Amino acid sequence: MDSPHLTAEPSPDDTSGPDRTPPVFDVIIAGCGPTGAMLAAELRLHDVRVLVLEKETEPVSYVRIVSLHMRSLELMAMRGLLDRLLEHGRRRPAGGLFAAIPKPAPEGLDSAYAYLLGIPQPVVVRLLEEHAIGLGAQVRHGCAVAGFEQDDEGVTVELASGGVAGGGGEQLRSRYLVGCDGGRSTVRKLLGVGFPGEPSRNDTLMGEMEVGVPREEITARMAEIRETTQRFWLRPFGEKVYSVVVPATGVSDRAEPPTLEDFKQRLRAVAGTDFGVHSPRWLSRFGDATRLAERYRVGRVLLAGDAAHIHPPTGGQGLNLGVQDAFNLGWKLAAQVRGRAPETLLDTYQAERHPVAEDVLDNTRAQMELHSTEPGPLAVRRLLTELMDFDEVNRRLVEKITAIGIRYDFGPGPDLLGRRLPDIDVAQGHLYGLLHRGRGLLLDRTDRLTAGAWSDRVDRLADPTAALDVPCVLLRPDGHVAWIGDDQQDLDAHLARWFGAPTG
């Protein structure tokens, strides 16, 4: 596909040597899953020349329903995407998230989007990809990244031979490469970045198929089995189809996709019946490996999403985490490409997001323990269930899973510093409605401060009525509070810290 921005002038800091082709792209993204598509869109908001290379020619065949949590819903609202997602998903209360302990969400959660959206993952990917393409990103399907080499000026990316899109051995040049290519990331492996953690101990089969017995029979049998086995369910999905989950114990060939016979055999072993399952729509298998990349950046190559961290799906956090990585990285990498980034800005990506992933890995480890049916973990589960009756405990866990409790370390300051600002009411309506373009925002209740020489990157809203209990905040493009105060000189120093040198 041709794109007008391909013919754009090279960026100001293109300095390729005489024997190298100048990079045609600013950023190549490996992988068009939720993370890659979101990152491409975020970069395009800043006119960065982006190419996304996706190994697969077609969207995935399985229809996994994922949970989009509060912070992701907020990000989607910030970019004007939420309404499109809501059309395709089902809202659910944001309770019962931690280890599926059935406690309702606490009252008065501090978000205008205090619910969970259940939505098929392929729909999320399609909408994000359409959004990225609409903003001018190029996406090439059937092109797998097979190798790369980086030098002082850029990265030479090599495509796998035999790709249906004719990418055989083709080399492409860009200034940066981001591996958003999933848990088995080729980019991470080629980069030689360690991926320490634990291998999968419990594999699970998951699929959709029809059943041959009445619903009542399934409901009764399921209730009995769930008392001793947590990773088991048959849930109606559509008219005749059931979503089936069963432990994969004994289904040994991890390299091969599971068969219907594997499901039948495992159902018989666990439930004493295979419920007459037949006509599968799709069959898959997933594990509970937990690993975190040692580094998120080596020179001009970065990692995001599952390429940087994997963990069990309990609590439904992986896609959310990846999309939020993309939001954190997009504006920083764009500033770097445009030659405007303060020297250490790009490194704040790892400094901020690595600890967040560490925390998610830990909470999934804890949740997995709580899914065990051994007497010890069962006792801990009972105790935690009791403790969750305390509002503060319940609230803390919900804020953790939904990522609205994140506070980046921006140095000493009030508690709001480093946190995301909720979608508060402002004179023009909703705050997030003013953030669609991915720029910084100065929200000023004093009406005397200015973004001055940063006005080309930072908008200003003077609103004495804004629902804030501080005089003024500076918001980064990802909605986190980068500064609080009422002093112009101090503000200027922080504008320079986050947005680079002033213009003019």
Which residues are near ligand FAD by CB under 6 A? 30-36, 53-56, 64, 66-67, 121, 144-145, 180-182, 186, 206, 286, 305-306, 313, 316-320, 322
| In the complex, least distance from residue 366 CB atom to ligand FAD, rounded to whole angstroms | 17
Query: Which C-beta is closer to ligand FAD: that of 317 or that of 394?
Result: 317
Residues 6+ positions from 85 with CB-CB distance below 8 Å:
68, 73, 76, 117, 119, 123, 124, 127
- Residue 161 and residue 170 in contact, taking contact as beta carbons nearer than 8 Å: no
- The pair of structure tokens assigned to 198 is 């634990």
Report the candidate in 52, 222, 243 with the shortest Cα–Cα distance to residue 129.
52
Give least dist CB 165 to ligand FAD, A.
11
Q: How far is the CB of 233 from ligand FAD (least distance, A)?
A: 12
HSE at residue 134, side-chain half, CA atoms within 13 A, is 9
By the 8 A CB rule, do 129 and 31 touch? no
Q: What is the biggest distance separating any 2 CA atoms in the chain, rounded to whole angstroms?
A: 75
Of the pair 59, 342, the CB lying nearest ligand FAD is at 59
Q: Do 347 and 297 touch, CB atoms closer than 8 A?
A: yes
Least distance (Å) from ligand FAD to the CB of residue 177? 11
Question: Is 32 or 474 the residue whose CB approaches ligand FAD more closely?
Answer: 32
The crossing angle, in degrees rounded to 10, of helices 318-337 and 347-370 is: 180
136-149 b/e with 16+ CB inside 10 Å = b?
A: bbbbbbbbbbbebe
Do residues 267 and 206 lie in contact, with contact meaning Cβ atoms separated by under 8 Å? no
Nearer to ligand FAD, 141 or 338 (CB): 141
CB 186 to ligand FAD: min, Å? 4
CB of 68 to ligand FAD, least distance (A): 7
Helices and strands per DSSP (H, E), number in the chain? 12, 24
Complex with ligand FAD: residue 280 or 471, whichever CB lies closer: 280
* Shortest distance in whole angstroms from residue 2 CB to ligand FAD: 21
Residue closer to ligand FAD (CB basis): 45 or 180? 180
Nearer to ligand FAD (CB atom), residue 114 or residue 475: 114
Task: Give the 3-state secondary structure of residue 250.
Answer: coil
Residue 50 forms beta bridges with which residues? 27
Contact 305, 317 (CB under 8 A): no
- Least separation in angstroms between residue 217's CB and ligand FAD is 25
CB of 322 to ligand FAD, least distance (A): 4
Which strand (E) or helix (H) includes residue 297? strand 297-298
Residue at 122: amino acid letter: P
- Are 138 and 85 spatial neighbours (Cβ–Cβ below 8 Å)? no
Quote the CA–CA distance of 330 and 303 in Å, as a whole number: 12
**Based on CB atoms, which residue is closest to ligand FAD, 320 or 328?**
320
Residue type, 502: P
> 305 or 440, CB closer to ligand FAD?
305
